[in-house]
Structure 1
């Protein structure tokens, strides 16, 4: 009998030792009194001897409480009693089972049985992550998914499907019942007929559009697609799966687009200028009678033709690239001027304004095109430019002669001339100078508009130019009882510029500052290095520049309101010419103004750096371009002229 008992114990010991599960026997104090080989393997053999160790040291998720063991469960999904196992890299998980027994002497022990289920837990995590991604995708795309069991007539659906119907809590709800109760009565028969065709196998899928009641009284358009996903052994359908989306915005947009199309047809037909609607490839879809007159075709001959290929000419072919750039860019409007050759050989200039209508579907995008024949306008503009150039050139020589003759006459008469004669000679001389300046401005403007404006860039001393220009303009400033204060570096600063043109720009800024300064005030000229550029600013105190006028300040012939400028002479070309000159020298020009306080114009020009050199560090006396109007008085520590 003893032998049989010993054999049974040996067999039991062998079973436990070779069990695939980790087994520990723990006393009431939490000390391990036995462990098998699988238990040591679960611990990655980190303990040479586990007998006598605290179980909490081996498995921290286990602890002793009231003479027994408790488990700190990780609470993963539907798993129970899951703990973390020791690992070198990836997480490992074990399922714990506790059972108690007493030995022959009545001492309590706990058997800790651990089964590693890492692969099962990781599979659960992967499945959960996949479901979360699908749910997020469905919720983000507002696509509701539903499934119907044709044997029971019951249905279930995703949260997104219920949300489309305004249902927040879907617990216990049957999606099939909700669908039948909420579909519009006028749409139900047609949808069920389409679904029946799919269920019977006559069509691969059912696509339907219908109205559903959302909330109490809000009817919204839905679109569903349904397929049979499971059939029984006899081939009868068992399960169907479908999706549903809210298409109300699309239906509303389509209705609005149809209304707009009808209105557009009326608008285009009655427009006084040539107007057309085209597809993105340039094909005419709708055009009015002035289009035929403009392009030289008989009525009805342009439908479905392509704008870029009219009459076999390629004169409008670059419009295709313009439309592509317009469609891919941020702007929705493009204005271009093109030449067009009519079928009879006549060449005309056309001003074309293109805008893009962008619906939800890119394929439905349309070009709205307005066109005007500007051939006569171009001809008149060319005549005007020729006239200005001719008159300016014809006036320059006589004016120079008149001015010279006046100076000679004043010299001959001398200081003994009667006061009246001296006054008349002075007035004639001043007006001849003014006319000369007007002619020079007109000539510069004519070169600007003709694209013949040029500058000769060399390395010049910017400080010297500033100082010279201020001295040259001293008499003009004195006429308005204005003094000029200069704050500039004492050392030369070499820049890339045209010296003569830069003087012209500064002369214009100084003369404007003097003319529009309050009597007895000072014009401040500051010059210095600002980062990698030379910055010049001219500040005067006076009436300032209104925001409205500031928008067109640098446009030709721009002058502020008449009641403000009648007392100040000028052509309104100076700033436009200055802007063109500065930009041709690679610089920038701008201003800031505070009404009835002060106005600052600034010019920034590039420094001339040695080959391979970087910009010099900003010295302590450098200045910055004004970023906003200021009422504070600038520091005056320069020279007054």
Structure 2
């Protein structure tokens, strides 16, 4: 646009020069006319009439020529004025409608119109002098940017779809035309870019495609604004389950989707905000919760996405897990019945084997004694599996008792480590417990928390290399105590993360070594920790090992301070997290 304005100024300059030249010619003509008139008077007296007439004719022709020249200049001025007016109108219309940019031979921005800066959310100072590639998603490696540069450097006009990044990170979609300006040697001097914003059309088309995709999914899909919780989208399954009409969706919030919600909306929002807090803080990418709707069961997974308009949105997908729960329940009930039937005879067999091992019924030779030891160990293992199954059944049925009492985790964890040290010795693995805390008060069911720690220690020992060390620590994590157990084993693949706490889950080890287990220990541990309003999880890196942690609430009523240090000053170090 600047180039067009410069051309207009150049034309006006030429017209001024032409006008001045014509004025000069006219003055000279008038002087000559005056001289000619004087000469005419002399000629009329001294020359014949024919010659005088000829001179007068020439004067008339000159006068007509001057008049016609003046008319031509006036006409040219009118044409130039109209052209200037048209150019101004075109410039104004283009400036209002399009995003215009000028770049130099190196692709650096030299000029922008206001529409460009307003749409992308930058100031002119933030862009002028910078490479135009900065607004492309891929920068200098962006495919569209490189295609455009190749065309311009070849002296060709490029037109096509563009995708740019606004200052706030949102995407701007446009239809662009880029025109090169070449020098006499065919080298690119500058280029003009004219973009037409079609972001709204692109978003509408994208939204229609997504809607068509999600509308007929069997899973319920809910999309709401993270700030207001106002509903943005719900698919057909979600509308049916919630009893909503599509036309009233914008009047609903995600809290209205729960028919069993509390009557107090503030309570509902507080519970929901607490559930999605790890997403907001960036601690988790997905949060999941099991829900019950009437007679059915469901699993809701929620994550945060960024919309095309820059808004953050909660996307919740509710998958019906009723059939899966029924199958799991039937399986557990069958296994529980079998377990009950097996436990009594196995206990009797174990007692008999121990009696034989004690030598009370006579001595056995070394070979027979070895067979007895194997039978005794396998009997213990079967009883352990049965106990795990029965424990899990009790937890799911809500029949497991959690008699909580005040305990000091510093002493408790140290005792747990010593109780399980023998297991580590069998595998040539050392247990090393360290904490800077003098006391860590909490309320818990000691025998159940001991069961959790024992399970984590045995797993760490099994996955540690021979002569390895399992490190155990205890620290404060906010309003929780964090117990962490780290090994130097093969680690857990990220794709297996969700399977760690599943029932009868036997993960395939990254090092290919098969390790024995019931597949129930982590499931039971998770249920026990959750019953204490705590959290269990892990961090892992392939080839370097895993760190499992258990978080239990601080019992602030028991002790306001940890030794001589306030609770807020005794925190987990980065290597303990």
The alignment's TM-score, normalised by the length of structure 1, stands at 0.44
Which has more helix, going by share of residues? 2
- Determine which structure has more spread, i.e. the larger CA radius of gyration: 1
Which has more strand, going by share of residues? 1
Relative contact order: is structure 1 or structure 2 higher (C-alpha 8 Å, sep ≥ 6)? 2
